[in-house]
Structure 1
Amino acid sequence: MEFSVVFQSILIITIMIFIGVVLSKTFPFNEDTRKLFISLIVNVAMPCIILSSIFKVEINKDTFKLMVLVFCLSIVINSIGIALGWSITKVFYKDSNKKRELAILSGLGNTGFIGIPLCATLIGPEGALFAAIFDAGVDFVIWTVGALILQKNSRFDLKTLKSMINVPTIAIVLGLGTAYFNIKPPILMIELTSQLAALATPIAMIYIGVLIMTLKASKVRESGSQIWVPLSVKLIILPLTVLLLIHVYAFNPVINQTILVQSMMPTLTLASILFSKYSADEGMGAITTILSTIISLSTIPLMLYVVNMFFVF
């Protein structure tokens, strides 16, 4: 990885977030506008990134094996993050009633909104493909491990399974299906998905910029005594753990880079929505998401700089 590319990508992301901050003054941010942003990102831009990445990469038997490996690694890495968050919270806040929220916020990152576009920029189409598979692993953990932790009855049922069926997941299945059966999509479809995929980063970053302006100081102070746990685990401890993992097992260089970048992502953007669904503290989810996103603008390039200084990929 070229550090100059990393720095330029983070700088562009910062500018886009700032544009969102400015635009937040020009329209009311309510439930309808929030749903519009999320719908465009989740149902249009993200599926097109996935399809575009698959269309641009020559997928063979070996590539499929690597994709399965990345999916499994994603499940392991995210589960480790959740376990670390739970353990640290139990040590420092034994009587806290926010263990569930803090554990989820520690393990699950913004591997879709930020991770896939960043991997596409830093590593190329193959990196974007593996990043999409990693994100599919995150979705799997959200609606299995995450749902089980957040549900009071801790039961995996048909409703939970149905929640795993979403547009990005369908895009992965369709894309892999076309690759497996060697179906070449029309040039029009390739060009369309490529152009729509370009919407992902700008819309997601502008959305985060708008979200920043909803942050209330009183709520930050209320949750501030505990959210250092997910911030430290998600942005520092988990990436260092992944760095140790890839140093020991020495996977494919592209996979090494992809899972390392994905492990550095800030907390899941949809955390507050997930918490709301299971009657958890959605305010803590929103605050942690925003603060981790802001802090990650410094930690991501710093961590990658350290990696480039001391490790060779």
Structure 2
Amino acid sequence: MDTLTITITIMTMGIMIALGVFVASRVPVTLQAKELLMFIIINLAVPSIILNAVFNTEIDENVFQQVIIVFVVSLVFNGLGLLLTILIGRLIKFEPSLATKLGLLAVLGNVGFIGIPLSATIFGPIGGLLAAVFDAGIDLVLFSLGIYLLQSEKRFHFKQLKALINVPLIAIILGLAFVISNLEAPFVFKQLSSILSGLAAPLAMLYIGFLLYPFLRKEQAFYYKELWYPLILKLLIFPMIAILIMTLLPLEDFIKQLLTILIAMPTFMLASVVFSRYSDGDNLAVITTVVSTLLSLITIPLVTFIASVFI
């Protein structure tokens, strides 16, 4: 694993976050503007990364196996990790609802906003595609088990799974169907997906900077007393466990490296939205997302360096 390349990429993303803070300090960034930016990232930029990977990668039997492996690992790791983290939280005597929220914040990573662009930058188009598959596993865990645990009545409704039908997932399905059909994508589609895919990382980092600025302007403390729990688990303990597990699994080094990086991602960006919709609205999600993202600029290079030694 090229630790230097990853470190430089993370530093570049950190600079883009700082630019987002700078822009927000000079131009009022309204809620509507943030929603527009998120819409562009999720519905244009990220799907373009997926389609660009499909159009520029020879999808053979080996790639299909990689897709299945990454999806299964995502389901198992995030599902079992969530249950384990909530159990540990209960043992520490966190309130049940708080233990559930902290469990979600400690396990589910920001693959959609950061992991997919980062993987595409480091590993090429195939990295972006497999990261999107990993993110699909996270979405399935979040909008099934995660929502079930968040709701006080603990009832599962199939309508919760509607959130799984999103543009990135549709792009994965259409892309793989396109490959199976053995059709050649028109040059204009290849060019368009290539150009739009380059928007993902810059826009995502600017968006994080926009979220960060209000805290700096109001001089609010990025802290609540249980913050240590999701941060330590998400950024250090789970990535170290992932490295240990990867050394034992008979997988390609490329897959091991990719999975390690994806598991080391900071807290998922939609945490505040999900908490507001299915639980009590509070600042836990926003604070954890912002702080974990900033700290990940240090921990991701650290994790990749350790992984390069053992994997």
Fold in common (TM above 0.5): yes
Partner of 1:79: 79
Does residue 194 of structure 2 align to residue 187 of structure 1? no
TM-score, normalised via structure 1 length: 0.94
Structure 1 residue 286, shift from structure 2 partner: 0.6
Query: Which letter maps to 1:166?
Result: N
Partner of 1:59: 59
Query: Which letter maps to 1:86?
Result: I
**2:69 and 2:2 mapped to 1: Cα distance?**
25
**1:96 and 1:78 mapped to 2: Cα distance?**
19
Structure 1 residue 275, shift from structure 2 partner: 0.9
Structure 1 residue 77, shift from structure 2 partner: 1.4
Does residue 302 of structure 2 align to residue 302 of structure 1? yes
**1:185 and 1:101 mapped to 2: Cα distance?**
43
**2:80 and 2:203 mapped to 1: Cα distance?**
30
**2:274 and 2:95 mapped to 1: Cα distance?**
23
**2:143 and 2:158 mapped to 1: Cα distance?**
11
Does residue 87 of structure 2 align to residue 98 of structure 1? no
**1:32 and 1:300 mapped to 2: Cα distance?**
31
Distance 1:89 1:211, change over 3 A: same
Query: Which letter maps to 1:225?
Result: K
Aligned residue-pair number: 309
Distance 1:282 1:71, change over 3 A: farther
Report if aligned partners of 1:81, 1:233 keep a CA contact under 8 Å in 2.
Answer: no
Report if aligned partners of 1:273, 1:282 keep a CA contact under 8 Å in 2.
Answer: no
Structure 1 residue 242, shift from structure 2 partner: 1.1
Does residue 38 of structure 2 align to residue 38 of structure 1? yes
Structure 1 residue 282, shift from structure 2 partner: 4.1
Identity fraction in percent:
39
Partner of 2:173: 173
Segments of structure 1 that go 5 or more residues without pairing to the other structure are none
Match runs of 1:198-277 below 5 Å? 198-215=198-215, 218=220, 220-221=222-223, 224-277=224-277
Report if aligned partners of 1:212, 1:290 keep a CA contact under 8 Å in 2.
Answer: yes
Segments of structure 2 that go 5 or more residues without pairing to the other structure are none
Partner of 1:311: 310
**2:130 and 2:288 mapped to 1: Cα distance?**
26
Query: Which letter maps to 1:18?
Result: A
Tell which deviates more after alignment, 33-42 or 85-94. Answer: 85-94
Query: Which letter maps to 1:130?
Result: L
Partner of 1:70: 70
Partner of 2:21: 21
SS of aligned partner of 2:300: helix
Partner of 1:286: 286
Structure 1 residue 91, shift from structure 2 partner: 2.5
Distance 1:132 1:97, change over 3 A: closer
Structure 1 residue 97, shift from structure 2 partner: 3.9
SS of aligned partner of 1:189: helix
Report if aligned partners of 1:265, 1:300 keep a CA contact under 8 Å in 2.
Answer: yes
Distance 1:88 1:30, change over 3 A: farther
Cα deviation 1:34-89 (Å, max 9, x = unaligned): 21111011111111111111211111223212211110101111123313431332
Report if aligned partners of 1:75, 1:137 keep a CA contact under 8 Å in 2.
Answer: yes
**1:151 and 1:97 mapped to 2: Cα distance?**
9
Structure 1 residue 194, shift from structure 2 partner: 0.8
Cα deviation 1:88-107 (Å, max 9, x = unaligned): 32232343641121011011
Report if aligned partners of 2:67, 2:130 keep a CA contact under 8 Å in 1.
Answer: yes
Give the aligned CA root-mean-square deviation in angstroms: 1.6
Tell which deviates more after alignment, 248-257 or 204-213. Answer: 248-257
SS of aligned partner of 1:268: coil
Runs of 4+ in 1 over 6 A off after TM superposition: none
Report if aligned partners of 1:84, 1:233 keep a CA contact under 8 Å in 2.
Answer: no
